[in-house]
A = this chain, B = another copy of it.
Amino acid sequence: MSAPASNLTIDADRLWSTIIETAHFGGTEKGGVRRLTLSEEDRQVRDWFRAACEAAGCTVSVDGLGNMFALRPGKDMTKPPLGIGSHLDTQPTGGKFDGILGVMAALEVVRTLNDAGIETEAPICVCNWTNEEGSRFAPAMMGSAGYVADLPVSDILARTDAEGISVGAALDAIGYRGTEEVGARKFSGFLELHIEQGPILEAEGLPIGVVEHGQGIIWYDGRISGFESHTGSTPMHLRKDALAALSEIVLAIEALAKAHGPNAVGSVGEAVIARPSRNVIPGEIAFSGEFRTPDAAILDALDKALQTQVKEIAARRRVDIRLDTIWRKEPTHFDPAMTGAIAAAADRLGLPHRPIVSGAGHDSFHLATVVPTAMIFVPCKDGVSHNELESAKPEECAAGANVLLHAVLAVAGGGA
């Protein structure tokens, strides 16, 4: 690798303008974005992205799942390119930054290198992964899952939305079922800039998070069966109160996560009482629960402890409790050389940073299974994401893009 152009910075105004300009594709009245994957709005932003990349001298190709790759040549074209990017689809009531910042910052890196006349050693490839959000088609991170062969392409193409439209048909409808074989595009590494979608950086006043791990996740579906009876005429000792049992489970999950801190988290997100009534003791409740931690051994310990406590609660309260593990994802550990390059880039720019764990899932989790990968986080207002109120400041976006620029220069080899 050659010495980086140490005082180079991206054009913060241009980056911000592309974010604001493209937010019109699916823009909502509240200032958010509704751009479901493979929708007409997604086609519009994809067309914009293709044209912008081509205008920046890149060659754009599309694979069989609609994943888009904009290649900027390097000095040594025998080297696989360094992938940078994220996704352009949003939640049904999403914001302007989730995924979008990562793609636009990657484009801005290319434009900055162009303006400075810098040719990197390895090529650079700006990526837009299909259906990261998973709102229209399940699962989330679908395009990168197909890319790393975590799911068969044929399986993905057959998935349908709520209206019965398949991924394949939706790709055809917007003209984005490409000819490139899925997974054929090889990278030497991958870097993704993303808003944190959490409150830690903002709370600590830090502009940069170096994402070292992705949480392992265990998801539960639960059902408590007690006995519905009259709240007035059933003595306390004869009750089989499903809500009281759930309450103990909620607090047990919370206490277990806290006891395995600081990075373990756990919660119950959904709980529905069957036939609720003010004067009927809840007899049946369905709920969902989860634990997340970057440590697989802790994930095991949390699961085991919860199962034990649930058995005890069920026996003591004489209720039936089913607790089924419906999904388990092992923790992601990003590449130390890549996280090191990010930290060094931030240091070079004088931007304070901290190591951080990604609680949400990202395409980089899939990429990390095949190439050295890492992520950069920047703060977002109040940690809010997946919401039209999602917000980040121009200078926060620029700081992240500058770290991405210098990490790219370090990893891909920045020459004058």
A281 CA / B250 CA spacing, docked (Å)? 12
The stretch from A24-32, A69-77, A236-244 touching chain B is A236-244
Q: A271 contacts which chain B residues (CB < 8 A)?
A: 243, 271, 273, 276, 282
> Smallest CB–CB gap between A252 and chain B, Å?
10
> Smallest CB–CB gap between A239 and chain B, Å?
8
Contact size class for A? Answer: 35 or more
Copies of this chain, tallied across the complex: 2
The reply to whether B277 and A270 contact each other, CB–CB distance below 8 Å, is yes
The reply to whether B265 and A269 contact each other, CB–CB distance below 8 Å, is no
Question: Is A51 positioned at the interface, with any CB of B under 8 Å from its CB?
Answer: no
Q: Beyond A230-B385, A250-B247, A360-B230, is A238–B200 a contact (Cβ under 8 Å)?
A: yes
Q: A276 contacts which chain B residues (CB < 8 A)?
A: 269-272
The reply to whether B270 and A359 contact each other, CB–CB distance below 8 Å, is no
> Smallest CB–CB gap between A87 and chain B, Å?
17
Interface string of A362-401 (1 = CB under 8 A from B): 0000000000000000000001111000000000000000
The stretch from A104-112, A253-261, A343-351 touching chain B is A253-261
The reply to whether A234 and B265 contact each other, CB–CB distance below 8 Å, is yes
Question: Is A402 positioned at the interface, with any CB of B under 8 Å from its CB?
Answer: no
The stretch from A10-18, A36-44, A191-199 touching chain B is A191-199
The reply to whether B290 and A265 contact each other, CB–CB distance below 8 Å, is no
Question: Is A164 positioned at the interface, with any CB of B under 8 Å from its CB?
Answer: no
Q: Beyond A268-B243, A278-B288, is A229–B383 a contact (Cβ under 8 Å)?
A: yes
Question: Is A203 positioned at the interface, with any CB of B under 8 Å from its CB?
Answer: yes
The reply to whether A230 and B280 contact each other, CB–CB distance below 8 Å, is no
Q: Beyond A243-B250, A276-B272, is A233–B203 a contact (Cβ under 8 Å)?
A: no
Q: A234 contacts which chain B residues (CB < 8 A)?
A: 198-199, 265, 359, 383
Q: Beyond A235-B262, A265-B236, A278-B219, is A359–B230 a contact (Cβ under 8 Å)?
A: yes
The reply to whether A358 and B233 contact each other, CB–CB distance below 8 Å, is yes
A199 CA / B240 CA spacing, docked (Å)? 12
> Smallest CB–CB gap between A329 and chain B, Å?
11
The reply to whether B282 and A269 contact each other, CB–CB distance below 8 Å, is yes
Q: A292 contacts which chain B residues (CB < 8 A)?
A: 231-232
Closest-by-CB residue of B relative to A200 is B235
Q: Beyond A276-B269, A276-B270, A281-B269, is A254–B236 a contact (Cβ under 8 Å)?
A: yes
A112 CA / B336 CA spacing, docked (Å)? 93
Q: A217 contacts which chain B residues (CB < 8 A)?
A: 232
Q: A246 contacts which chain B residues (CB < 8 A)?
A: 247
Q: A261 contacts which chain B residues (CB < 8 A)?
A: 235-236
Q: Beyond A200-B235, A230-B198, A359-B234, is A281–B262 a contact (Cβ under 8 Å)?
A: no
The reply to whether B262 and A254 contact each other, CB–CB distance below 8 Å, is no
Q: A416 contacts which chain B residues (CB < 8 A)?
A: none
Question: Is A279 positioned at the interface, with any CB of B under 8 Å from its CB?
Answer: yes
Question: Is A248 positioned at the interface, with any CB of B under 8 Å from its CB?
Answer: yes
Q: Which 9 A-B pairs have the closest CB atoms?
A: A232-B359, A198-B233, A233-B359, A247-B247, A247-B250, A270-B276, A278-B288, A269-B278, A197-B233
Given A215-B232, A232-B265, A243-B267, 10 more A-B residue pairs with CB atoms under 8 Å apart are A198-B230, A198-B235, A236-B258, A236-B266, A238-B383, A243-B271, A248-B251, A270-B273, A271-B282, A279-B290
